[in-house]
Amino acid sequence: MGIFSRLSDIVNSNINAMLDKAEDPEKMIRMVIQEMEETLVEVRSTTARIIADKKELARRNKRLEKQAEDWENKAELAINKGREDLAKAALLEKASINEMIALVHEDMHKLDEALDKLSHEIEQLQSKLNEARARQKAMLMRHDATSSRRDVSARLYDGSVEKAINKFEHYERKIERMESEIEAYELSGKHIEAEFAELEKEGKIDEELESLKARLEKKKTDNKNTDTK
């Protein structure tokens, strides 16, 4: 048995109240949407049949009007030929056809009223269906959010997050040690370069000192030679 017994039950339904009373709101909203969709298909199918019936009545009305016109032409012909009896018979046929035309017009008017009513009901049903789908979407989003929160809480409770943090801190300390070693290597390299630079500097000073001593010795020798002469 369906949730709704009549289309008016759907149109007048309070979806929020129904879900608040339901033991399983998610299951209830799925059933509501399914029944609304099925009802919408049925109403649209009925509308299509009525439109087809209206078109058939329009074609029948056109044929009857043509027949009425033909009988009127025959009545005129009979009068012109002096056959009033035939003219009267033709007019009786025309009157009978006009009665059928009136019935067809009445049926077409009823179909128009039915189409107007169905169009309004389709609009209302579509609005209710959109409302139900929006509520279902909100419920799914809420369910996903709740599931995510539950998963996070479960991970916090079982210590997996703490383990991950500890592992991250371990890697962080390892990286810091590697950076310290690199800095130590760089400092050691700079110290060695400085010692070599100092040695090169001392070598140049020694060379300059020896050169200066040699010049002074040569100058002293030159002065002695000059005095001897």
pLDDT of residue 57: 95
| Domains of the chain, start order | 7-158 (1.10.287)
- Rounded Cα gap, residues 31 and 2, in angstroms: 9
pLDDT of residue 150: 60
DSSP state of 13: -
More confident site: 198 or 39: 39
Nearest to 17 by CA among 32, 1, 2, 35: 32
Q: Which ranges of 81-159 would DSSP assign to H, the alpha helix?
A: 84-158
Give tens-digit pLDDT for 37-60. 888 888 889 999 999 999 999 999
Amino acid at 63: R
Nearest to 19 by CA among 138, 122, 123: 138
Cα maximum dimension of the chain: 187
pLDDT of residue 3: 38
Helix, strand, or coil (residue 82): coil
pLDDT score of 162 more than 80? no
In this structure, what token pair is assigned to residue 51?
A: 């439109």
pLDDT of residue 17: 61
Give tens-digit pLDDT for 113-151. 999 988 888 888 888 888 888 887 877 777 566 555 665
pLDDT of residue 34: 83
pLDDT score of 165 more than 50? yes
pLDDT of residue 190: 55
Give tens-digit pLDDT for 166-176. 675 766 777 67
Cβ-Cβ contacts under 8 Å for 135 (sequence gap 6 or more): 15, 16, 19, 29
Most confident of 97-111, 146-160, 171-185: 97-111
Packing angle, helices 160-228 and 84-158, rounded to 10: 60
- Rounded Cα gap, residues 22 and 16, in angstroms: 10
pTM for the predicted model, two decimal places: 0.51
The arithmetic mean of pLDDT across residues 98-121, rounded, is: 93
